[in-house]
Structure 1
Amino acid sequence: MAEERLQKYIARCGIVSRRKAEELILNCDVKVNGQILKELGSKIDPEIDVVEVYNKKIYVKDGHIYIKLYKPEGYVTTVKDQFNRKTVIDLININDRIYPIGRLDYNTSGLLLLTDDGDLANKLLHPKYNMYKTNDAHVTGSISEESINKLRSGVLIDDNKTAPAKVKLLNKGDKSKVQISIYEGKNRQVRKMFDALGHSVIKLKSLSFGNINLGDLSVGQWKYLTDDEIKFLKR
């Protein structure tokens, strides 16, 4: 197998993001074949070398690929775009063919999951599994308690009433900040729900998918899911 940079291998094992992997190396928390290795440019052969983090052997899991990405604004959630806009796939430097689980629109940032496991992706997106997706929404105007209650009971959009949402008002004034969790995945649903109540969404950020969150990821970064995160999705 071809050699690869140590920090890339650590990230590929799903332990931490690549930036965090670099910190581990510089802090002398990584061993290769029993020896501390603290040079970021170092390369290893995953089939031959034994890599340890905090004295525990790490390895890349076999089977399907599961990734979480901190999507920036200005990227489309598709594999390819007919208008040659930047896609979320451009941010993930692997050769495997993966697909987004669900969709974040062009101007939305935050957590996005990707995988090559089509069966699991379809399962997770079905409303019957009640997989709540939590978002922070900055909206125009001072949102009322009445509007909050409407979000909680369901709002009429596209001639259909949405399922009840979990809603928390974080602050309000000339603009309001609302945390909203939904388990449906209709196109631009959160934005349309607020539009129906007379509030335009100024900024929208995806925080979590079930109990999977952004963790230590920075905007534009990604990492492989941990075993516990994968088990949660497959439960």
Structure 2
Amino acid sequence: MRLVKLLANLGYGSRKEMQIAIRNGWVTDKEGNRLKAESKLPHEEILFDDEPLDPPEGCIILLNKPLGYTCSMKDRGRLVFDLLPERYRVRKPALSFVGRLDKDTTGLLLFTDNGKFLHEVISPKADVAKVYEVELDRPMTGGEADQFSSGELVLENDTHPLKPAELETLTETTARLTLHEGRYHQVRRMFAATGNHVNKLHRAQLGNLTLDGVEEGQWKLLGTADIDTIFGKDS
């Protein structure tokens, strides 16, 4: 791929802007040699403004989503893409969410342009666990764990029962809930079925991947070792 197109696809700017960046010497190799539009180097050997290029297609980003941000590119208000560099909003292929979090849910959110990875994570057959920390409006009754693990709970407006889920009670009003599927507003609807209301919801883990070291509102690119932990592989 020509250098100008590569940089434009990664979102660094339009093709015209990238032609200007190359002429101005902002695109170099690791030794600081200025590249030309027709230069051909391995992706990892190219620097833009003295920084390594973002990964090529197959990029996976982890964000610790704060409260009040919407998983969208177009809605009004605060959007999760506002927390990433602007180039990720216009990157081609476009980044997709790996399981959305609603505006009132915080925690672990992934973005990717890798369709195969996206399918592997969200497919029910993959059985990738999703761990949520929940704060409830009222004390639990004590029967929730059995109800959620039964494999017989059918939510309102659904026709098929939920997969068994594991509930770990922490206090009367807080718990950790592990799901093995991802239905619309599933955690909130599960507790609504018990007559309770979720006040705070935080996704803490996906497979064995956690937010370790990523502060609220911060993000990082995932490497192979990180990605392997999602599927329970040794890193």
TM-score scaled by length of structure 2: 0.70
| Cα contact 1:78–1:99 (8 A) shared by 2 | no
**Letter of the 1:133 counterpart:** K
1:12-161 → structure 2 map (5 Å cutoff): 47-49=29-31, 61-81=55-75, 84-95=76-87, 96=91, 97-154=94-151, 155-157=153-155, 158-159=157-158, 160-161=160-161
What whole-Å deviation, never above 9, does each CA across 1:113-154 have from its counterpart, x for those lacking one?
111112221221111110011000101222122122101224
The CA deviation at 1:233 is 4.8
| Cα contact 1:134–1:206 (8 A) shared by 2 | yes
Which structure dedicates a bigger proportion of its chain to strand?
A: 1
- Structure 2 gaps, min length 5: 4-25, 33-51
| Structure 1 segments of 4+ aligned residues over 3 angstroms from their partners | 59-63, 231-235
TM-score scaled by length of structure 1: 0.70
**Letter of the 1:129 counterpart:** A
| Cα contact 1:135–1:208 (8 A) shared by 2 | yes
Q: Provide the residue aligned with 1:14 in structure 2.
A: none
1:186 aligns with 2:183: yes
Q: RMSD across aligned C-alpha pairs, in angstroms?
A: 2.5
**Letter of the 1:119 counterpart:** K
| Cα contact 1:138–1:202 (8 A) shared by 2 | yes
> Once the two structures are aligned, what percentage of the paired residues are identical?
29
Q: Which has the higher contact order (CA 8 A, sep 6+)?
A: 1
The CA deviation at 1:161 is 1.7
1:203 aligns with 2:197: no
- Structure 1 gaps, min length 5: 2-43, 51-58
The CA deviation at 1:45 is 7.1
* Corresponding pairs, count: 182
Higher Rg of the two aligned structures: 2
What whole-Å deviation, never above 9, does each CA across 1:162-196 have from its counterpart, x for those lacking one?
11001100111xxx101001021111000000000
